[in-house]
Structure 1
């Protein structure tokens, strides 16, 4: 007898990724040369601010042999071309491997004559009406219509197949500024919402008792940090171990570690497992000198094209991972490092494209890990209070 409650797969939240990435558009309705020229225009305009990518299928029917060592049976060939890196594969791409390859892209443009994407840009090109009509089933989320040089109006079959076509922006194919602005606005509109995550799941071995429970400003430090973050983030969670959950004030939402035994690394992964499309402002609970201005400075200079925005550590000039905005695109990167046996969030930051800032007040990043550290910071806080009252 089979239980009706049995589930074959874990109930995971899947990120809102299409065939390639979160923001992807298939360009359809025109010759390939026109599609490539449009892709070049948009990518050329936006690549200085965003990571752009392009997907297509080769027309070179004369290429019957695989290039280089692939012809001799190699499954992969890597060449450092100095100005760029080249990978040739002798394996079939799957939707899963393609999403992995394009995971850091902010914008993916696709030649819709050969590949599909979750959103579409339709070009009304007079000689391609029959070809476009064959692809009506692919037009599931048309977001822009472009009229080519000789086009006067949208094809009737487009109007009939897309009920809300009047609400879709329409411009001419030569209106470059409008087209570029469309894609840039779409990227900005899809900017991931920002959640806060207060790391309070450590065992505080060096301190001898829970650092997050130390009262600095009339309340436990974990709640003090969470209260600072609340006006700045969509949601704020206290990250903790399963055995700590009952100790947390129920007024503060808890996000329990589901990647256990990995310290802060596991807490970050657990947050992405819960909400993979959100960015996470991760903060350790052992920085009692943190102020609202320190968080605002980081948030205002957040760079969504990087995998993270972090401060330089005042101690070693490496990125400080425990007051960092981790973008959704960092999730597969973190998992990849874990699969290679690494669970250090700083190592991930050092070896990837990260936007690093100098903290406006480096003292705010001071860690309290030992009783001696605690006494030093207490004196600093008392001096500040005395100066303010003087």
Structure 2
């Protein structure tokens, strides 16, 4: 079992430590405001109130959970403390989590060097396990000696002024997120039984090779690793060994099981999933899809004019989709389209609606063959 990359909160998290809580919150506000268009941003802190406070609302009466649908946001109050696992679940959709390091820890740190918080920072020096950036307050000219000792590579880290280095600070986080963007893998869904077609759609030869191999070769231009999805070992043994295969470990779920099996194999990658029964998908459409990929969303998909819904079988599923798909399954749903309809996705308009033509019957196969032969003839003539 491969575990997703995660810290205390999420995949990309930084504790901002060493400044006043006001300075940390102001910095977090500015960074979030700059990045929120591109990324899902989150913030974690602890209340400063040292007095014992009564739980709010119905929690006082004994409720374990209270949900309030506010006008501009939704609010959940929990009675029980959040475990590490529940934290990760709640922050699973966040691309970046900024943490007040004076109260909480994270797998990476940004250190503010402020003479007024010197003793506070020195008490937390043991928490500085992965310092990635140093910010100098106006009252200092360089890091403290104990910080230099605790962070031997301090001189090679980006060092900016806290109050006038905001563009550099924002660029630091943006660069880190780009560097950590999940790799894109490809998955050709070829595990269907093709009952209506009467023959295996993955083996249909549209362009000089079987469709499952044609799609796998096409995806190699856009994806780091490409796999052909198989429903069982028997089908896997039929595949040309030069192609990577991925056998369903979630069986009996059709395409849903193929997608889940891919995430189980690599939960840290995004998956460009495409079905074998979309023979008019071409390089131009995949360029359009990958160029408009949105890592902020659960998935990037096309709107199908034929169904007036998202098309799940040519979709980029981000790593954050994995827990979402599992949650739908736990509620008894195994329809990828239902996941897309009810999730935060980026929905694209398809440049050419014909590209999403689905082939399920011999009649549809004959029509698509004529279209492909016409395109090939045009290409040869030019």
Question: Does the TM-score normalized on the shorter chain lie above 0.5?
Answer: yes
2:18: which partner in 1?
A: 29
Which of 187, 205, 208 lines up with 1:197 in the alignment? 187
Query: Mapping of 1:265-284 within 5 angstroms?
Result: 265-284=256-275
2:200 matches 1:210 = yes
Q: Please list every run of 5 or more consecutive structure 2 residues that lacks an aligned counterpart in the other structure.
A: none
Which of 206, 210, 218 lines up with 1:220 in the alignment? 210
Shift in CA distance, 388/186, structure 1 to aligned 2, threshold 3 Å: closer
- CA distance in 2: counterparts of 1:265 and 1:97, whole angstroms: 25
2:93 matches 1:100 = no
Which of 118, 130, 134 lines up with 2:123 in the alignment? 134
Which of 115, 120, 135 lines up with 1:146 in the alignment? 135
Counterpart of 1:54 in 2: which secondary structure? strand
- CA distance in 2: counterparts of 1:49 and 1:385, whole angstroms: 39
Distance apart, 1:62 and its partner CA: 4.0
1:22-49 superposed Cα distances (whole Å, 9 cap, x missing partner): 1100011111111111111111111122
TM-score by length of structure 1 reads 0.95
Query: Mapping of 1:1-390 within 5 angstroms?
Result: 12-62=1-51, 64-174=53-163, 175-242=165-232, 243-389=234-380
User: Cα RMSD (Å) of the superposition?
Assistant: 1.1
Counterpart of 1:122 in 2: which secondary structure? strand
1:344-370 superposed Cα distances (whole Å, 9 cap, x missing partner): 111111111111111112111111111
- CA distance in 1: counterparts of 2:168 and 2:221, whole angstroms: 35
1:290-324 superposed Cα distances (whole Å, 9 cap, x missing partner): 11011010000101100110111121121101000
- CA distance in 2: counterparts of 1:274 and 1:204, whole angstroms: 25
- CA distance in 2: counterparts of 1:157 and 1:31, whole angstroms: 19
Counterpart of 1:57 in 2: which secondary structure? coil
TM-score by length of structure 2 reads 0.97
Counterpart of 2:50 in 1: which secondary structure? coil
Moved more, 114-123 or 235-244: 235-244
Distance apart, 1:380 and its partner CA: 1.6
Distance apart, 1:209 and its partner CA: 1.7
- CA distance in 2: counterparts of 1:299 and 1:104, whole angstroms: 20
Q: Size of the alignment, in residue pairs?
A: 379
